[in-house]
Amino acid sequence: MVGRAVAGLLAGEPVVLPTDTVYGLVANPEGEEWALAALALKGRPDGKPTALLAGSVDALLERLPELHATAGVLRALLPGPYTLVVPNPARRYPWLTGERPDAIGVRVPELPAPSARVLDAVGLVLATSANEPGDRDPATVEDVPARIRDACAAVIDAGRLPGTPSTVLDLTGSEPRVLRQGAAAGEEALARVRAARGQ
């Protein structure tokens, strides 16, 4: 199944992948058409930003080298159940940034082993929860709507996941902000960011 997922992603097809929080609908972010097709499959509203997901901080920095300036903050929180909105001065992946092309969301989860092997092979994916918009976050493969599963090149089953989405932090300003409280305590994350920044 890992091989099928890797082949599908490299060919531009979406995949259902377990993370440390929920089951994600992921796709290759390098092609705008591939990305938009995956987001349309999810039913995600046009213009809503979508995060990038990498298997390691090093892999993330390889694809977005300008993030080396914030590597200390990234490593203070990642890998972990966080989505970090970071500066995007090169305006990479504009089809994922919504109305803020100068900012982009990034994730480095603590991945189940099969997902880690997929990310090792492909490097980077876009990721959104594999559910209908507004429905509960998928903690099991069975929670993923059949129409999404059927449209994917592969569905990797890692059993039951926590089912609570990542905590989202905005790190683009002088003061970090919690945009969404999720799987990890936002106040603890803010304290770790400030410590990493020397504040």
Instruction: Give residue-wise pLDDT tens across range 105-132.
Output: 999 999 999 999 999 999 999 999 999 9
- At 125-169, the pLDDT tens digits run 999 999 999 899 999 999 999 999 999 999 999 999 999 999 999
Is 178 among the domain residues? no
Is 188 among the domain residues? no
How many folded domains does the chain comprise? 1
DSSP SS3 for 13: coil
pTM value surpassing 0.85: yes
Q: How many CA atoms lie within 13 A of 195 on its CB side?
A: 9
Is 109 among the domain residues? yes
CATH code for the domain of 136: 3.90.870.10
Is 131 among the domain residues? yes
- At 72-103, the pLDDT tens digits run 999 999 999 999 999 999 999 999 999 999 99
Asked if 107 and 79 count as a contact pair (C-beta separation under 8 A), the reply is: no
Range of the domain at 45: 2-166
